[in-house]
Structure 1
Amino acid sequence: MAWSSARFDSWGALCKSTGALLLCAAALAGCNKSENASSGGSTAQRASDSASASAPAAAPASAPAAAASNGAKPKIGFSIATLNNAFFVGLKAGVERGSKDQGFDLVQTNANGDAQQQVNDALNLLSQGVTALVLNPIDSKAIIPAVEKANQMNIPVFTLDRGSDGGKVTSFVASDNVALGQTAAKWIAEQLKKRYGSEKGNVVDLIGLVGTTAATDREKGFSDEIAKYPDIKVVARQEGAFDQEKSLNAMTNILQKYPQIDAVFGANDDNTVGAEKAIDNAGRYKPLDDKAHIMVIGADGTAQALSAIRAGKQDATISQNPIKMAAKSLQFIADYNAKKDVPANYAWPTMLIDKSNIDSDAVKQYGLWSEEVKQ
């Protein structure tokens, strides 16, 4: 169990007396040894669709040294939620690229979707003498003990794509997921107005992985925005869990229940790919210019989504760029080690991609990250 700051404060008070100094040091060393034997903030500040930062957090004077006195490279620990998704493969590639660019030694783990395993992995990384910890949390609450342990060890924590609901995070780099959800809702409203002359129709909302800040924020943005259009009915709202198979099953059931569906919002492109397969299997796919076409918009900009857009199976994706996003987080670690100010929250910009702009210079400049990643 993670120590509370109150326990450290009480030890600090005891150690004020010279006679108790050795006793305190021995007790603290014993506790640290016991906890380290385990092998093992929150959400981003709302920002516009351009990179922005909140009030900076400066590295404290007592932060771990950027490198050992013998000139060794700073060792960075990285725990990723899963690699069973191209987006996270992109994050991994970005962390590796950023570490190389900044001259870091990188130690990384893959929690394979297991929140408790991720906590154990993070604690193990802390025991290896890392000078900074980068977390891509599976669950924003479950990760708190790892963040708090790093805080107690005075090791800065940098969260990537997903945040932590507790502990002190030095810098959180992610897209503005509330804005992303809002963008999807506005896009659907615009398309329905083109189809019917006003914002009306039946919409399906396939939610992301419950417990992640990304899913929570995208759902908030989408739900709050779509509610502004009283004639647009969200006929079904189910968890797709950022998973193709779960989204396929959810959408299959929804299609059986609702004969009229105009649009689907998938919280990520795995959700949308699952939905598209269900639409195909049900014999309800229609071309883009057909009024019976079920419009589908997702998020991330995966290779499957781009292929589906070109094939007319998916209408749009709100792309992120996990490679550049992750590399930015590693740059902030270098800045922190150099005792420069770093932003507590940094919003990486997104870009809506559809058939009209998929091959444009603007999209190429933003970066089709999935073309760089081989899963």
Structure 2
Amino acid sequence: MTESPENPNPQNPNPNSPRTDASSLSAFGASRRNVLFGAAAGAAFLSGCTSNESNDGKDAEAGQANVADDKPGKRVTIGFAGPQADHGWLNAINEQAKERAKKYKDVTLEATEGSNDNAQQVGQIETLINKKVDVLVILPADGKALTQVGLKAMRAGIPVVNLDRVFASQQAYRCWIGGDNYGMGLNAGRYIGEKLKDKKNAKVVELAGIDNLELTRERTEGFDDALKNYPNIKKVARQAAEFTVESGQSKMAQLLRAEPKFDALWNHDDDQGVGAERAIKQAGRDDFLMVGGAGSKRVMEAIKADNSVIKATVLYPPTMAASAIDLARALGQSKGVGGLAEFEIPASITLYSAVVTRLNVDEYLPTGFK
């Protein structure tokens, strides 16, 4: 496939293939369709998760690991602890985990209510540890602040699947799975760069997330690095919002007042993008293209309709929670994953930040969150 403005990855001529750099397993070399593993995507990158049967030694004869599959096997109790679902993406994380667990007859899910208070979340996780769950899946409100409770679980012999916001120590988890914040910014910048590469003195603006979060800084760094490949493009303004509708509206209004003319906007988060779009409509502006972030259903539907400034969104798939359940199930049954020569589950799995445009939106629409 030849490069086109719809391909945000100039270094990867096939936009249907996941990134394969050393820092990312990208669903172990699967196709882009399988990168979005999980309940909403309709497929797990793991082959499933649980038979205790040895398949009469056929796997060993073939030189394969004892991998998980869909057959019911040893029962596993998975403790799930995440932050409060006060955001569309976080709510989708919770739903993905719960729905995935329901698919397995051998899984019991013990889920906490979720909290953004570090002390309260620590208490919830300690309760799960005291219940002696087999495996823990934890999306910490603050990875650094909750590292000690991750260490406590691991020392108690409970393997931890660290979801997205990483603990400060690798000793606090057995496996980490999450999104690629730097890659998210990189691909947003590449998409915009390809769209504006022939425009002289092009200008872009950025509506970022919460600035004291490492993920926000990584998204901005990736975006800036991508734009370095397009000398005709200059980022003329940046505002940090708070991943809320209200902050998106107020900060976008400030950007519009400060910059009466620009060609593209990258917004880090589709939820705060609701507010950004309100400000754009109130200002009567439609002279630029907008790229969103995370992959909400609302934004994907707008991309498909092609009747607004929104032309693309860069995924940060909440399906990672469904895959975390797959991993936890496999860990609880001492299984590996299909498609790998290694016997053990990897220590780190980074998802690919695909760009959704009108050309591929139908493929990704089922994964969009509300």
Aligned twin of 1:187:
191
Give the TM-score taking structure 1 as reference length. 0.70
**Alpha-carbon distance in 2 for matches of 1:48, 1:352:** 18
Answer yes or no: is the 8 Å Cα contact 1:134–1:158 preserved in 2.
yes
Once the two structures are TM-superposed, the CA of residue 133 in structure 1 deviates from its matched residue by 1.5
Decide which of 144, 147, 165 is 1:162's aligned counterpart.
Answer: 165
**Alpha-carbon distance in 1 for matches of 2:272, 2:265:** 10
User: C-alpha offsets along residues 131-170 of structure 1, whole Å, 9 cap, x if unaligned?
Assistant: 2211112222222222122223222111223322234221
Aligned twin of 2:127:
124
Question: Which 5+ residue runs of structure 2 have no aligned equivalent?
Answer: 1-20, 31-72, 336-343
Aligned twin of 1:301:
295
**Alpha-carbon distance in 1 for matches of 2:242, 2:258:** 21
User: C-alpha offsets along residues 208-267 of structure 1, whole Å, 9 cap, x if unaligned?
Assistant: 334555434323321222234344222222322322221211111121122122211112
Once the two structures are TM-superposed, the CA of residue 126 in structure 1 deviates from its matched residue by 2.0
**Alpha-carbon distance in 1 for matches of 2:282, 2:250:** 11
**Alpha-carbon distance in 2 for matches of 1:281, 1:300:** 24
Answer yes or no: is the 8 Å Cα contact 2:97–2:321 preserved in 1.
yes
Answer yes or no: is the 8 Å Cα contact 1:115–1:142 preserved in 2.
yes
Aligned twin of 2:244:
243
Answer yes or no: is the 8 Å Cα contact 1:51–1:348 preserved in 2.
no
Decide which of 323, 342, 347 is 1:344's aligned counterpart.
Answer: 347
Residues 188-267 of structure 1 aligned to structure 2 (within 5 Å) = 188-194=192-198, 196=199, 198=200, 200-210=201-211, 212=213, 214-267=215-268
Aligned twin of 1:40:
none
Question: Which 5+ residue runs of structure 1 have no aligned equivalent?
Answer: 1-43, 54-70, 287-292
Decide which of 123, 130, 152 is 2:155's aligned counterpart.
Answer: 152
Aligned twin of 2:367:
369
**Alpha-carbon distance in 2 for matches of 1:170, 1:303:** 32
Percent identity over paired residues: 29
Closer, same or farther: CA 332–72 of 1 in aligned 2, 3 Å: closer
Pair 1:47 & 2:42 matched: no
**Alpha-carbon distance in 1 for matches of 2:204, 2:126:** 43
**Alpha-carbon distance in 1 for matches of 2:207, 2:296:** 17
Closer, same or farther: CA 46–351 of 1 in aligned 2, 3 Å: same
Once the two structures are TM-superposed, the CA of residue 120 in structure 1 deviates from its matched residue by 2.8
Aligned twin of 2:109:
106
Aligned twin of 1:322:
318
Closer, same or farther: CA 283–190 of 1 in aligned 2, 3 Å: same
Residues 72-87 of structure 1 aligned to structure 2 (within 5 Å) = 73-87=75-89
Give the aligned CA root-mean-square deviation in angstroms: 2.7
How many equivalent pairs are there?
296
Give the TM-score taking structure 2 as reference length. 0.71
Answer yes or no: is the 8 Å Cα contact 2:25–2:349 preserved in 1.
no
Closer, same or farther: CA 336–245 of 1 in aligned 2, 3 Å: same
Q: Which has the higher helix share?
A: 1
Once the two structures are TM-superposed, the CA of residue 86 in structure 1 deviates from its matched residue by 2.5
Once the two structures are TM-superposed, the CA of residue 95 in structure 1 deviates from its matched residue by 1.1
2:328 corresponds to which letter in structure 1? I
Secondary structure of residue in 1 paired with 2:262: coil
**Alpha-carbon distance in 1 for matches of 2:102, 2:345:** 20
Aligned twin of 1:335:
330
**Alpha-carbon distance in 1 for matches of 2:79, 2:330:** 17
Answer yes or no: is the 8 Å Cα contact 1:80–1:136 preserved in 2.
yes
2:244 corresponds to which letter in structure 1? D
Aligned twin of 1:13:
none
Closer, same or farther: CA 272–227 of 1 in aligned 2, 3 Å: farther
Once the two structures are TM-superposed, the CA of residue 89 in structure 1 deviates from its matched residue by 2.4
Q: Relative to structure 2, which stretch is displaced further, 325-334 or 231-240?
A: 231-240
Q: Which runs of 4+ in 1 moved over 6 A?
A: none
Closer, same or farther: CA 331–357 of 1 in aligned 2, 3 Å: closer
Answer yes or no: is the 8 Å Cα contact 1:139–1:212 preserved in 2.
no
Q: Relative to structure 2, which stretch is displaced further, 78-87 or 204-213?
A: 204-213
**Alpha-carbon distance in 2 for matches of 1:280, 1:296:** 13
User: C-alpha offsets along residues 160-218 of structure 1, whole Å, 9 cap, x if unaligned?
Assistant: 23322234221111233322211100111111224x1x5x4222222233455543432
**Alpha-carbon distance in 2 for matches of 1:138, 1:201:** 38
Larger radius of gyration: 1
Answer yes or no: is the 8 Å Cα contact 1:271–1:298 preserved in 2.
no
